[in-house]
A and B are shown apart, each in its own frame.
Chain A
Amino acid sequence: MSTESIAWPSTPVESRSFVDRLHEWIATVDHKRLGILYMIYALVFLMIAGIEATVIRIQLIRPHNDFVSPQVFNRLFTMHGTTMIFFVIMPFLFGFANYLMPLMIGARDMAFPRLNAFSFWMTAFGGLLLYFSVVGANGLYGAGNAPDVGWFAYAPLTSRTFSIGHSTDFWTLALLVSGVGSIGTAVNIIATVLCLRCPGMTLAKMPLFAWLNLVMAGLVILCVSPLTAAQMMLVIDRYLGGHFFDTQAGGSAVIWMHFFWVFGHPEVYVLVLPAFAFASEIIPVFSRKPIFGYPVMVGATVAIGFISMSVWAHHMFTVGMSSAANNFFVISTMAIAVPTGIKIFNWLATMWGGKIEFKTPMLFCIAFLFQFLVAGLTGIMQGAAPFDWHLGNSYFVVAHFHYVIVGGILFCFFGAFYYWFPKMSGKMYSETLGKLHFWLFLIGFHLTFDFMHIPGLLGMPRRIYTYEPGRGWDTWNLIVTIGVFFQAAGILVFLGNLIWSYFRGKVAGNDPWDAWTLEWSTNSPPPVYNFASIPEVKSRRPLWDLKHPDDPDWEYE
């Protein structure tokens, strides 16, 4: 297998004008550039949605605060939730999948480069559309602004009776458009993984990253499509006068909930599987051991994929389902603990007996393990339906899902940024700043989201712009809000680190982590064609084989 590669195009970057370079980026169909575009896009929206969260928290810092009006508050959490899910985490994961997938499976690009560019711009357009509502949603009646229906937009709040103006239209169209982009990318990922693997890389020899993203893409296909369908119905209702969710004409509010959560629940696994993918690459490398139980990990992933499509109504325990339906969704929800547990245990076993190096990426992944454990267990509590009759729609749920999404997914994403930054930029990040980021964010995270469980248990519902004093919620909310500022500081350090290292960082070299997957065999940053000659692999850790010719992996697998 070859580790040399052709160099980056010989024209020196400086000689091209800004417009030329901009044009190159905008018209690009290269998977690496699109990947980076996705990530920058996601980072920008992370700032925006994070600032929205900060304003939410400032408003809730004490009872009867009036930092923002209820109308603004409702728009804030709607925009915060929608942005974070659809325009932060989704682009992050598509960005990484785009950048890394071809490199990891030894391919030169994604299966459909043009579709790839199209999908990115659809997603990007979706985000812009959503935010255009801030100026554009006033419409004829001077009513509305940014959407304020909540990120799951329960009917009939979205009907024209209760949502005049165009804010909801912007919301639904943004999700429709970005949904088309997501489906396009998912199709692309599936085709890439199945059709472009380099010689020797059977399905059983793909890095776990490829497996997890394959299952993720499959879930996107099967879950974003229902959302798209539901949004079409909403558009039909709002623009053509249909009655799908029009409760005055016999339409059902509950069917929207089903449609939304048929999407919404698999969606959260769409978000978490790529995080698992990063952990599955990073933990072995920094423990210096192969992933423990690879076939079981693959099996567990596929199981998660399937089970996650049958649990959606655990978001609806309080809408008055029959006890049979409640029982069904309890058992299916809890069943998911089994494959997820298997994953946690296998990561644990991977570290067991290894030599763990606490580099920044590994720190983030270890924190992820601890935090995901807690978040999963609070998920199980909500899965016990009667317990959820209390917990549902309270701050406990908000704490649960931020624990998964921030404590699990965002931590893994930060880990991934640090881990692959040397590959993407060719420069090494600053380890000191990385660790500072880690500790600031860790402290902020725990201040915010640990203490957020408690007001939930004390009866505080979510989505309230203010609350009564004397309910025992005040102190907890104060602590929660303080935590946000630590998180913000951490993120600022992170951004600073990225920018500083990009310009000033040490040259990283091709394989700074002494890692084992194919992307580390090519240049940093990789040339346009990724590999000078297409590699050939014999095991799951081709670079291990290369570095240990006397003791190659394929003799054991």
Chain B
Amino acid sequence: MRLRGSNKWRFLGSQILVFVWSASAAFADAAPPFSPTNIFAPASTPAKAIFGLSLFVLAVTGVIFLVVFSLLLYSVVKFRKRKSDDGREPPQVYGSNQVELAWTIIPILIVVALFMATARVIASVQKAARPDNAIEVVAIGHQFWWEYRYPALGVVTANELHVPVSNDDHPAPTFIKLLSADTDHSFWVPRLAGKTDLIPNHPNSMWIDPHEPGIYLGQCAQYCGTQHAKMLLRVYVQQRAEFDGWIQQQRQPATVSNAVSQGQRIFETTACINCHTVAGTVANGHFGPDLTHLMSRDTIAAGAAMNTPENLQQWITNPDAIKPGSLMPAMQLSDQDLNALTAYLETLR
């Protein structure tokens, strides 16, 4: 019994150690402990600024907590009514101005300190200068998926944002303009920056400068309707050369191949083109994601499923199976047509 108890404590202790270790390891941009979306594992300047502030705030509130908690505990234990009580009322104390003054002034000082630390970080994030070589991205929130435009680079894509690595030698921050096509959304990739909302008629902006390549996850953080839960975010941070290559590839019009002309015909004669664009073809709908380079994406439907042929087929026949409530209707297609259509989509690299 005894042993088990102490084991448990040891386990808890080790858990705490892990937590502390991970918090410090976060400084070193190690793989995110616990979670790919841990806010204590920042990998970009704004997130780091927030991380610094949060440690300070946690420390201050932690100390307040310890002090007040101990006082409360002490008084509850010390001044409990004892068995040996004589039944008389304790001394009646009505108040004391000195004490009141003390516990008014000390909190005021703490609040001032907290405020100043906060104001500095607000300024450092919100007023950051924008270098000329910054990448400019427009992110448009749609009910349950993300549209990304790189106006200066002439690229339109969806759901998977690609940005270059930025470091002290080659700073290349990405500035994101946030718009909404319908309801409110919020862009939140915890390791890169705090969240900022996308609100119709109310353009916002934010910036990130990820220091390490990798895939950073997040998801929509403002309730936007039925499928708010599966409006996931993926940010691909790439080395500069890789990023430039990706841009090059995205600027190409869609590949057209005779082998799949059957599928293309189906695509262009069903409702698909009302909602989807495939650059270089007649499809230029804007209600759904741009499919020009569909196959260059790892996932479909804003991260709800991996981009595999089976998933694609299921998505087209019954989006609700993957993402109930998404705004893409189920397309009624014969198996043959479906196969041809998918074969066509498979060529959209």
Chains A and B share a contact (CB less than 8 Å): yes
Query: Which residues of A are at the interface with B, using a C-beta cutoff of 8 A?
Result: 69-71, 74, 148, 150, 154, 156-157, 162, 247, 250-254, 287-290, 292-296, 318-320, 322-323, 326-327, 330-331, 334-335, 337-338, 341-342, 344-346, 348-349, 351-358, 366, 369-370, 373-374, 377-378, 380-381, 384-394, 457-468, 470-473, 548, 553, 556-557
Interface centre among A250, A318, A466 (most CB of B within 10 A): A318
**B241, CB-defined interface residue at 8 Å:** no
Instruction: Give bound CA distance, A541 to B195, whole Å.
Output: 52
Q: From the candidates A71, A393, A472, name the one contacting B34 in the complex (CB within 8 A).
A: A472
User: Do residues B195 and A348 form an inter-chain contact, with CB atoms below 8 A?
Assistant: no
Q: From the candidates B111, B195, B205, name the one contacting A335 in the complex (CB within 8 A).
A: B111
User: Do residues A385 and B201 form an inter-chain contact, with CB atoms below 8 A?
Assistant: no
User: Do residues B58 and A356 form an inter-chain contact, with CB atoms below 8 A?
Assistant: no
**B313, CB-defined interface residue at 8 Å:** no
Contacts of B218 in A (CB 8 A): 459
CB of B39 to closest CB in A, whole Å: 4
| 28 residue pairs from A and B, CB less than 8 Å apart | A70-B229, A71-B325, A74-B225, A288-B89, A293-B99, A318-B221, A327-B115, A338-B104, A342-B100, A344-B68, A345-B103, A348-B72, A349-B95, A351-B79, A355-B89, A356-B79, A357-B80, A373-B68, A387-B118, A457-B38, A458-B35, A459-B35, A459-B36, A465-B229, A466-B229, A470-B36, A471-B36, A548-B89
Chain B positions 70-124 with a Cβ under 8 Å from a chain A Cβ:
71-72, 75-76, 79-82, 85, 89-96, 99-100, 103-104, 107-108, 110-111, 114-115, 117-119, 121-123
CB of B20 to closest CB in A, whole Å: 14
User: Do residues A293 and B96 form an inter-chain contact, with CB atoms below 8 A?
Assistant: yes
Q: From the candidates A154, A252, A341, A386, name the one contacting B121 in the complex (CB within 8 A).
A: A386
User: Do residues A74 and B226 form an inter-chain contact, with CB atoms below 8 A?
Assistant: yes
User: Do residues B182 and A156 form an inter-chain contact, with CB atoms below 8 A?
Assistant: yes
Q: From the candidates A293, A338, A384, A463, name the one contacting B228 in the complex (CB within 8 A).
A: A463
- In this complex, what residue of A is CB-closest to B58? A381
**B333, CB-defined interface residue at 8 Å:** no
A327/B119 contact (C-beta < 8 A), A157-B184, A472-B35 known: yes
Contacts of A473 in B (CB 8 A): 35
Contacts of A548 in B (CB 8 A): 89
**B193, CB-defined interface residue at 8 Å:** yes
A353/B57 contact (C-beta < 8 A), A69-B324, A459-B38, A464-B228 known: no
**B11, CB-defined interface residue at 8 Å:** no
Contacts of B53 in A (CB 8 A): 384, 386-387
**B196, CB-defined interface residue at 8 Å:** yes
A337/B122 contact (C-beta < 8 A), A154-B223, A319-B197 known: no
- In this complex, what residue of B is CB-closest to A339? B104
Contacts of B69 in A (CB 8 A): 370, 373
A459/B190 contact (C-beta < 8 A), A71-B325, A380-B57 known: yes
Instruction: Give bound CA distance, A150 to B184, whole Å.
Output: 13
Proximity bits, B35-61, A CB within 8 Å = 1, else 0 = 111111000000001100110011001
- In this complex, what residue of A is CB-closest to B227? A70
User: Do residues A353 and B229 form an inter-chain contact, with CB atoms below 8 A?
Assistant: no
A385/B118 contact (C-beta < 8 A), A342-B100, A380-B57 known: yes
User: Do residues B182 and A320 form an inter-chain contact, with CB atoms below 8 A?
Assistant: no
- In this complex, what residue of B is CB-closest to A320? B204
User: Do residues B103 and A318 form an inter-chain contact, with CB atoms below 8 A?
Assistant: no
User: Do residues B221 and A394 form an inter-chain contact, with CB atoms below 8 A?
Assistant: yes
Instruction: Give bound CA distance, A150 to B225, whole Å.
Output: 9
**B316, CB-defined interface residue at 8 Å:** no
User: Do residues B202 and A157 form an inter-chain contact, with CB atoms below 8 A?
Assistant: no
Contacts of B117 in A (CB 8 A): 384
Contacts of B40 in A (CB 8 A): 457
Q: From the candidates A295, A320, A370, A390, name the one contacting B54 in the complex (CB within 8 A).
A: A390
Instruction: Give bound CA distance, A294 to B92, whole Å.
Output: 13
Instruction: Give bound CA distance, A162 to B96, whole Å.
Output: 58
**B317, CB-defined interface residue at 8 Å:** no
**B224, CB-defined interface residue at 8 Å:** yes
Instruction: Give bound CA distance, A539 to B118, whole Å.
Output: 46
CB of A202 to closest CB in B, whole Å: 16
Which of the four size classes fits the interface of chain B? 35 or more
Contacts of A462 in B (CB 8 A): 223
User: Do residues A295 and B95 form an inter-chain contact, with CB atoms below 8 A?
Assistant: yes
User: Do residues A247 and B190 form an inter-chain contact, with CB atoms below 8 A?
Assistant: no
Instruction: Give bound CA distance, A386 to B45, whole Å.
Output: 13
User: Do residues B114 and A353 form an inter-chain contact, with CB atoms below 8 A?
Assistant: no
Q: From the candidates A253, A288, A378, A389, name the one contacting B201 in the complex (CB within 8 A).
A: A253
Given A157-B183, A320-B199, A388-B194, 12 new contacts (CB under 8 A): A74-B223, A319-B197, A326-B122, A327-B115, A348-B75, A366-B72, A373-B72, A378-B61, A381-B61, A386-B121, A389-B125, A461-B220
Q: From the candidates B34, B58, B223, name the one contacting A458 in the complex (CB within 8 A).
A: B34
User: Do residues A330 and B186 form an inter-chain contact, with CB atoms below 8 A?
Assistant: no
Q: From the candidates B37, B76, B125, name the one contacting A351 in the complex (CB within 8 A).
A: B76
Closest 5 CB pairs of A and B: A389-B194, A459-B37, A472-B35, A464-B229, A320-B204
User: Do residues A349 and B99 form an inter-chain contact, with CB atoms below 8 A?
Assistant: yes
Instruction: Give bound CA distance, A444 to B108, whole Å.
Output: 35
User: Do residues A380 and B114 form an inter-chain contact, with CB atoms below 8 A?
Assistant: yes
User: Do residues B226 and A70 form an inter-chain contact, with CB atoms below 8 A?
Assistant: yes
A341/B103 contact (C-beta < 8 A), A296-B95, A320-B197 known: yes
**B64, CB-defined interface residue at 8 Å:** yes
A387/B90 contact (C-beta < 8 A), A369-B72, A464-B229, A466-B229 known: no
Q: From the candidates A150, A290, A318, A468, name the one contacting B94 in the complex (CB within 8 A).
A: A290
User: Do residues A386 and B118 form an inter-chain contact, with CB atoms below 8 A?
Assistant: yes
Contacts of A465 in B (CB 8 A): 229
CB of A416 to closest CB in B, whole Å: 20
User: Do residues A386 and B95 form an inter-chain contact, with CB atoms below 8 A?
Assistant: no
User: Do residues A357 and B229 form an inter-chain contact, with CB atoms below 8 A?
Assistant: no
Q: From the candidates B65, B79, B188, name the one contacting A374 in the complex (CB within 8 A).
A: B65
A390/B39 contact (C-beta < 8 A), A351-B79, A557-B94 known: yes
User: Do residues B80 and A356 form an inter-chain contact, with CB atoms below 8 A?
Assistant: yes
User: Do residues B64 and A389 form an inter-chain contact, with CB atoms below 8 A?
Assistant: no
**B2, CB-defined interface residue at 8 Å:** no
User: Do residues B37 and A386 form an inter-chain contact, with CB atoms below 8 A?
Assistant: no
- In this complex, what residue of B is CB-closest to A344? B68
Chain B positions 174-233 with a Cβ under 8 Å from a chain A Cβ:
178, 182-184, 186, 188, 190, 193-197, 199-202, 204-205, 217-230, 232
- In this complex, what residue of B is CB-closest to A153? B223
Instruction: Give bound CA distance, A71 to B121, whole Å.
Output: 39
User: Do residues A337 and B107 form an inter-chain contact, with CB atoms below 8 A?
Assistant: yes
Instruction: Give bound CA distance, A292 to B69, whole Å.
Output: 19
CB of A299 to closest CB in B, whole Å: 9
CB of B248 to closest CB in A, whole Å: 31
CB of B23 to closest CB in A, whole Å: 10
**B127, CB-defined interface residue at 8 Å:** yes
**B126, CB-defined interface residue at 8 Å:** yes
User: Do residues A157 and B111 form an inter-chain contact, with CB atoms below 8 A?
Assistant: no
Contacts of B199 in A (CB 8 A): 253-254, 319-320
A384/B94 contact (C-beta < 8 A), A247-B200, A355-B85 known: no
Instruction: Give bound CA distance, A12 to B343, whole Å.
Output: 85
A330/B119 contact (C-beta < 8 A), A390-B54, A457-B38 known: yes
Contacts of A344 in B (CB 8 A): 68
- In this complex, what residue of A is CB-closest to B73? A370
